[in-house]
Amino acid sequence: MSPTIFKERGYRFFFFSREEERMHVHIVSGYGEAKYWLSPEIELARNYHFSRAQLKEIELLIEAQ
């Protein structure tokens, strides 16, 4: 099960229930996929095909939420 947290600018932010204990969020769009750790600070964990500009945009969206 992967509940959606929010959708914005073509990105879907979600998590997998019971995946792991460390707080994180997955992001997917038609351009790629990524995973960010949320604590102790926002940090890119994995990236599949997003550009640096897209990653910066995603990070700003996470910070805003």
Going by C-beta distance under 8 Å and a sequence separation of 6 or more, which residues neighbour residue 13?
A: 4, 5, 6, 7, 25, 26, 27, 61, 62, 65
Backbone angles phi, psi at 37, to 5 degrees: -75, 145
Question: Does the pLDDT of residue 22 top 90, yes or no?
Answer: no
Which whole number is the average pLDDT over 50-65?
A: 97
33-57-62-35 Cα dihedral, nearest 10 degrees: 20
Residue 26 pLDDT level (bands cut at 50, 70, 90): very high
Question: Does the pLDDT of residue 25 top 70, yes or no?
Answer: yes
What's the mean pLDDT when you consider all of the chain? 93
Residue 44 pLDDT level (bands cut at 50, 70, 90): very high
The residue ranges of every structural domain in the chain are 4-64
**13 in Cβ contact with 7 (< 8 Å):** yes
